[in-house]
Amino acid sequence: MVIVKADRMPRKRTYLMCPPERFAVEYAINPWMDPDSPVDAELALKQWDLLRETLAGLGHTVHVLPPEDGLPDMVYAANGAFSVDGTVYGARFRYPQRTAEAAAHHAFYVERGWHFAEPAEINEGEGDFVYLPTAYGGMILAGSGFRTEIGAHGEAQEALGRPVVSLRLVDPRFYHLDVALAAVDDSTIAYYPGAFSPASQHVLAQLFPDAVIADEADAVEFGLNLVSDGRHVVINSDATAMAAKLAAAGYTPVPVELSELKKGGGSVKCCVAELRPSAQGRKLADQDV
């Protein structure tokens, strides 16, 4: 049962995004990608700009990572790393088409003084990691099954000093955790049970009895690939039913159109990495870049 709170409070966030100036669907590494379906590059950039402006308009800081030639998926900035309390656990991509993205993210963080933990295990950053700072004293939910190896979960726990709960994804349409589950505030999640193994469903039900439960239609519309500040939930405009469920739970949906970015298998969250500095490093994260 979802607990409805009248006082859902937003928290100022810091984000990293990469413009889709090189975006194209040139190969297929997830079920949503079709190289025969053309991308409108101009429209993709307009939609991305609107997403960035929406986040900034809600009072959040948005940094921009420059795109690089030959990396058409760099727009999906969430996959490049995962940060908690000033430490960054770097990505190591599953597919060779995306491998070089990790170096671009590494350079961004190191140049700005973040502590960077190099990965030995294959993982795709916030695509498969979700941080809940006030749930059970601070916990990480981690996905495996398609992109991130289970060994990365233990590696992330050692690097970040937070307990990690492993969840197994079983539906290839939901190849990353962030298309099957989302943090809607610092201790509450929304998720689609059918994306997970029966055991993982049981774990989620035990840990989060007040979760917002999505159905298959919500997930297929990328309704869980969202970004929330604890009150305002920026969500794909096609996911109207999911937006209604979030509104019923006391959140404020903020729809954005991302039809072109969906062609690569991503939506709002895929385009946005959250930067989580230490208390001492918050000024560093918010500096002009």
Is 18 labeled as catalytic in the residue annotation? Answer: no
Q: What are the φ/ψ torsions at residue 178 (nearest 5 degrees)?
A: -75, 0
Distance CA 30, CA 172 (A): 8
Distance CA 254, CA 250 (A): 13
Is 176 labeled as catalytic in the residue annotation? Answer: yes
Among candidate residues 60, 176, 232, 271, the one labeled active-site is 176
Q: Which residues are catalytic?
A: 176, 270
